[in-house]
Amino acid sequence: MLFNTCSLSERSSWSKHCPQFDNIQLKCLPIDNGSNSIRSVPNACFTRVSPTRIHNPRVVLFSLDALSLLNIRHEVNHLNEQKCIEKTGETNHLVEYLSGNKLWPGSDPTAHCYCGYQFGSFAGQLGDGAAISLGEVVNKQGERWELQLKGSGLTPFSRQGDGRKVLRSSLREFLCSEVRLDYRNIYTTIYQNIVYFHVGNDTIYTVL
């Protein structure tokens, strides 16, 4: 079951350049096939979800080095950040994928279910309340990366939250991931881009 929103023509145009997915962990571990609604997820390590679509997404900033890990750097290496903010036609097409509005062929969006302790007490079911994994990508160097959206909307584990991100934490994590790229012996997550959109008077952020 794939939540794939690419049309056949889009799949053809992206076939040479889109990330190559190989979702081994989803083939080996139990998966729930429910909905995005907040609920209990028994007997599963992951639950399939759909990123919540956003209106008129715009790029705040992006990391070419991180995008190159997915072999899609060439899609944006001739565009500077100002052009991204101005939303040229080509950039707008790419932003739809970077924001989660569209999904690359082979991606299989899931949220991770886990449990643990909080504030000294066993908290029971926790899970990814503001993160959606798009799947595992294998690049041309044979490296395997998990591609994940953060702030892409509700999952069954969002509890009282809305599954979104704010700018301060998005920028902090983006900058920390850039340090990781400069000092290769520091292993952590890597941010590729920050995208924003408006809901009423609020500005909401989602990151990849």
* pTM of structure: 0.77
Q: Is residue 104 part of a domain?
A: yes
85 located within any domain:
no
Residue-level pLDDT at 5:
29
12 is a domain residue: no
pLDDT digits (tens, 9 = 90+) for 133-192: 999 999 888 988 888 888 889 999 998 888 888 778 888 878 777 776 555 565 556 666
Q: Establish if 32 belongs to a structural domain.
A: yes
Judge whether 11 lies within some domain: no
Q: Which residue has the tokens 């520091």?
A: 186
Number of structural domains the chain divides into: 1
**CA-closest candidate to residue 174, choices 190, 156, 152, 198:** 190
The domain containing residue 55 runs over which residues? Answer: 20-75+92-207
**Element of type H or E holding 203:** strand 202-207
Is residue 158 within 8 A of residue 39, CB to CB? The reply is no
- 29-86 pLDDT, tens digit per residue, is 999 998 999 999 999 999 999 999 888 887 777 777 777 788 776 555 444 444 444 4
Let me know if residue 2 belongs to a domain.
Answer: no
Distance of alpha carbon 58 from alpha carbon 143, whole angstroms? 29
Has residue 10 been placed in a domain?
no
CA distances from 176 to 55, 59, 64, 147, 192 (A): 28, 19, 15, 17, 12
Report residue 80 as tokens: 């500077």
Q: How far apart are the first and last CA of the chain?
A: 22
86 within domain boundaries:
no
**Cβ partners under 8 Å of residue 70, min gap 6:** 19, 137, 139, 145, 147, 192
- Supply φ then ψ for residue 49, to 5 degrees: -140, 170
